[in-house]
Chains A and B, each alone.
Chain A
């Protein structure tokens, strides 16, 4: 039973690392690409557009495939599967973060910035006092949708030998123990795969609904009245 508990703990840990580390990579890369997409430099805009359109039209499975199988060949060394999957998730989600930021910035009317410039505020002040507070409010709720999608996408790493909630069933079945006494034990030990997978699905449903509820609360709190 200890073995089983250990596996579950590791699986949860794997999912959390994928979610948070992938999220941080996605945020950093996404902010850079989003800034490029709204920058006054035409070449930077073009590069951002190509990146977003290219990666968004590539299946996540293919990106993970590339990172998991091709990267070790190209770099000529073995790399931890969890790290590769996390980078793949980050690279993929960054495009959605960039698009969210871009559309959030675009919801701020040009007149707001023009008025701010007209009363003599400098670039930094226009950004920090006028544009960003408004853009931030319209960015946060859609950003939550991006992170909900990221949470669900962590399961894709299951196909690339990363222990997480998506693949815990397969790992459990390798550590088959003595006959389970009741249905609950059969579910937790992976004896009954149907029940185990239903449990995992239920965990994700609860987490996603929780995040969606948080999103609704934030949306109501920060709705911009125009």
Chain B
């Protein structure tokens, strides 16, 4: 195995690598031991602190928080996709009076920190007499931010297509609407699918910001449980349990993104796969096409 950074290791390099490996393992073990020692020394493993998780009512609370997180995420994801398409189409418009203002809107929405947007809705709007629910504030802020990022992704996808695609569409008599809707967007979305899904992971992660503006999502429930004095304020156990739920949710979504990216890279961009089960390339030409697809994907996906 050779890379840009190092050659195929010889005997001395192999020995050195082995030593470095042992050192890494030791450092990691030391860190884990330190964490466990601190957890143990401060009594985080005591039965009293964990007993809170043996009640159905507590789990109902956690599920309630999880539901708030997921409902905000789902609505925000759908909204962000819709806004993304609208803004992307606006930025691709031939009319400067549409393209330029939409471009500015996208730039500004991307530049405002999501938390500031949420605060603007939750603390700012009541000044002019509009009472905003924390749920609405979370969803609108997430839609605005992720929608503008998705718009950029979709636009980049459309602009990366060969010019011939659009021209062929016009040549067979499609209008602007048809060219964009039937020819360019499907291909752009397909190519940009991994980016779109990773942005949805960002949206899921950012629902946790709702905690700061008192939206009762998972983190809020964790804090609530952590302050129960009757159970010895189990803040650390609650954070471990709730944090694991968050990480697992995001990991699942990231894994989907990873799988989609792998399959997009493997399949040639122009042709859709014939159907499930025809995994092996049958002819030499197809084989070469598949290989080319791999090469192209590698070159563009940085």
User: Using a CB–CB distance below 8 Å, which chain A residues touch chain B?
Assistant: 36, 38-44, 47, 53-54, 56-62, 65-66, 69-70, 73-76, 103, 105-110, 112-114, 117, 123, 127, 131, 142, 152-153, 155-156, 158-159, 166, 169, 192-198, 200-201, 204-205, 208-209, 212
5 smallest beta-carbon distances between A and B, as pairs: A159-B212, A59-B208, A57-B250, A194-B124, A61-B208
Q: Which residue of A lies closest to B108 (CB)?
A: A205
Say whether A65 contacts B7, CB under 8 Å: no
Q: How far is the CB of B183 from chain A (nearest CB, A)?
A: 30
Of A47, A106, A109, A142, the residue contacting B28 (CB under 8 A) is A47
User: Using a CB–CB distance below 8 Å, which chain B residues touch chain A?
Assistant: 1-7, 9, 13, 17, 20-21, 24-25, 28, 38-39, 41-42, 44, 107-108, 110-117, 119-120, 123-128, 201, 205-209, 211-212, 219, 222-223, 226, 235-236, 239, 242-243, 246-247, 250-251, 254, 302
Say whether A152 contacts B13, CB under 8 Å: no
Residues of B within 8 A of A114 (CB): 2
On whether A110 and B3 interact (CB within 8 A), knowing A59-B205, A73-B236, A205-B111, the answer reads yes
Q: With the chains together, A47 CA to B115 CA distance in Å?
A: 32
Residues of A within 8 A of B251 (CB): 53, 57
Say whether A70 contacts B239, CB under 8 Å: yes
Q: How far is the CB of A15 from chain B (nearest CB, A)?
A: 11
Say whether B116 contacts A193, CB under 8 Å: no
Say whether B115 contacts A197, CB under 8 Å: no
Say whether A75 contacts B123, CB under 8 Å: no
Listed by A's residue number, 17 A-B pairs whose Cβ atoms lie within 8 Å are A41-B21, A43-B25, A57-B254, A58-B205, A58-B247, A62-B246, A105-B4, A105-B5, A113-B5, A114-B2, A131-B4, A159-B115, A166-B116, A169-B119, A200-B116, A201-B113, A205-B108
Q: With the chains together, A114 CA to B3 CA distance in Å?
A: 9
Q: Which residue of B lies closest to A50 (CB)?
A: B28
Q: Which residue of A lies closest to B18 (CB)?
A: A41
Residues of A within 8 A of B6 (CB): 40, 123
Say whether A75 contacts B38, CB under 8 Å: yes
Say whether B38 contacts A198, CB under 8 Å: no
Q: With the chains together, A193 CA to B126 CA distance in Å?
A: 9
Residues of B within 8 A of A73 (CB): 42, 44, 235-236
Residues of B within 8 A of A36 (CB): 24
